[in-house]
Structure 1
Amino acid sequence: MSHAPRLSNVQCLSPSGLHRMAYAEWGDPENPRVLMCVHGLTRCGRDFDVLAQTFASDYRVVCPDVVGRGQSSWLANPAGYVVPQYVADMVTLIARLGVASVDWFGTSMGGLIGMGLAGLPDTPIRNMLLNDVGPHIDAGALTRIGQYVGIPKRFASIDEGADYLWSISSAFGPHTREEWRALSEPLFKADGGGYVLRYDPSIGTAFSGIPPQAIAAGEGMLWASLAAFSGRMLIVRGEQSDLLSRATLEQMLVHAQRARAVEIPGVGHAPTFVHADQIAIARRFFDGHDD
């Protein structure tokens, strides 16, 4: 089993020009069976290293850094940090991969992007796992995220940075220090004599600057997308999640055509899928053994 992915990037278009979207790729590059793994708001595609390695024998696993994060470009206009732009970028990436369909694993924001793409006519998404996210995001979670996203921070070491990330991410559930270090290290870059987080702080401006009517309109579009998707869907909820409520989950099961749900005990927002029990949930779903 390979322990290092192939790293590449694809050129994408936004209203303010061209940008690069980086991605990590695991498994046989000729395998027509593709699993796209898309991360949360301030994370990056390397979140999925453990999951990707376990799927690489059966899938070509592709883990993009959404624009503005990780190794990808930053947008000239921060107003472009919105789901429709991310969906357009994913369409460009799928075209680069040269496949007609993909399976989708989306954590938090990655799930919103998946819903946006899944609801389009002729969507390339076949099966979709939504990891702790739905069309409606609880207000408390928005407030919590708004308290840290885009706030400039500098750290003397990656270990210090990892400790900070744990302070805002402990709802991810229990992890060993080694596991947390592996999840944290790709999120930092050297800057002067220290380290900073590897994402555009303007994402915070875009996140907090969305007017309530735009949030409501976006939510309505995502509910419609959810209902339009005819593929298999698994909704995973962290039992203690403040972002995906049980009430929203129940609504999703009513709206979706072919959805079922799993709740992971002892975890909030969001399960990381680095542990064997969580990976087994994804494996059963994508292998089609849970119908």
Structure 2
Amino acid sequence: MQARRQFVQCLSPTGLHWMSYQEWGDRSNPEVLVCVHGLARVSDDFDALAKNLSDRYRVICPDVVGRGASERLRNPMHYQIPQYVSDMVTLLARLDVEQVDWFGTSMGGLIGMGIASLEGNPIRKLILNDVGPALNPVALARIGDYVGQGVAFDRFDEALAYIKAISQPFGAHTDVQWEKLARDVLRQNEAGQWVKHYDLGLGLPFKSVTAEQAAAGEAMLWAAYDAIKSKTLVVRGEYSDLLSMETAIEMTKRGPCASLVQIPGVGHAPTFVSDEQIAIARNFFLGHA
């Protein structure tokens, strides 16, 4: 089974842009699962999960604007959660369904939280993969440091080594899995060099955030989380430096009172390409024990 590449036109303060998404399964199926990737990743991250769940769902995997096959924004300062929420609301309208389930890794989870907090939202079940309202500033600085760095490699094996180095918190993967994780977020430029498949301007909003803005943002995220009524599962990597165990436990006590699963031997963030991790998502969404 292969995904179908689609596009939807969205609006930012500086004009229109196209957001790409991949669609798996029967497009007439009213059961829809939306899977949204992390900050510097792409829709292809969910190929294994989408293939597994497309027997029960129409699975929608967008390239968040600025990544992959989606267009780049004219003003990189708009690479922030409110813009992404707006784009996803446009995508949900395109899907023309009354209800969806949502799987969000890191940034994709924050987007899901933003939508699920709104009155009348369509999210029935929500997985927050290694993300919550309180985010470790040291981890954010680590991610923000490499996301805006321009790199160019003449050989794919050099590019692969780089992706493996910055992605070590993903945990153990096979050589085949590592190669796919690398190819998904790399492309060859006109000179034949391997470069990142996203707008390097993604890093600019990170650099402009003050301590006061970060504190205000965390308060807003907790308010959004507390407004969620969707059935929610929080997944945490055992060694995550972004989502602390204290925050994860707090998320089980307030708002939607989420269930919590911790994946051993993994940091930020579980990739959900292994059968064991995919089973966690399948069981939660399909209602098994």
TM-score, scaled to structure 2 = 0.97
Q: CA offset at residue 229 of structure 1?
A: 1.0
Gaps of 5+ in 1: none
Contact kept, 8 Å, 1:128 with 1:232, in 2: the verdict is yes
Deviations 1:222-267 (A, max 9, x none): 1111111111000000000000000111111122224110000010
Measure how far apart 1:156 and its partner are. 1.3
Distance 1:269 1:281 in 2: 17
Q: How does 1:177-216 map to 2 (within 5 A)?
A: 177-191=175-189, 192-216=191-215
Alignment equivalent of 1:59, drawn from 41, 57, 60: 57
Moved more, 139-148 or 33-42: 139-148
2:77 maps to 1:90: no
Say which of 146, 153, 156 aligns to 1:155: 153
Equivalent in the alignment of 1:229: 228
Following superposition, the deviation at residue 35 of structure 1 comes to: 0.4
Partner Cα separation in structure 2 for residue 158 and residue 120 of structure 1? 43
Q: Within 5 Å, give how 1:10-21 maps onto structure 2.
A: 10-21=8-19
| 8 Å Cα contact 1:153-1:196 kept in structure 2 | yes
- Give, in whole Å, the separation in 1 of the partners of 2:235 and 2:192: 40
Aligned to 1:69: 67
| Root-mean-square deviation (Å) | 1.0
- The 5 A counterparts of 1:16-27 are 16-27=14-25
- The amino acid that maps onto 1:267 is V
* Residue pairs, 1:41-190, within 5 angstroms: 41-190=39-188
Cα distance, 1:215 vs structure 2? 1.9
Structure 2 distance, partners of 1:62, 1:140, is: 32
Tell me which amino acid in the other structure corresponds to 2:126: M
Return the offset for 1:47.
Answer: 0.3
Q: Deviations over 1:72-102 (max 9, x none)?
A: 1110011110101000000000111111111
Q: TM-score, normalised by structure 1?
A: 0.97
- Separation in 2, partners of 1:37, 1:276: 17
Q: For 2:244, give the aligned amino acid.
A: S
Q: State the aligned residue count.
A: 288
Runs of 4+ in 1 over 3 A off after TM superposition: none
Contact 2:251–2:257, Cα closer than 8 Å, also in 1: no
- 1:137 is displaced (CA, Å) by 0.6
Distance 1:138 1:9 in 2: 34
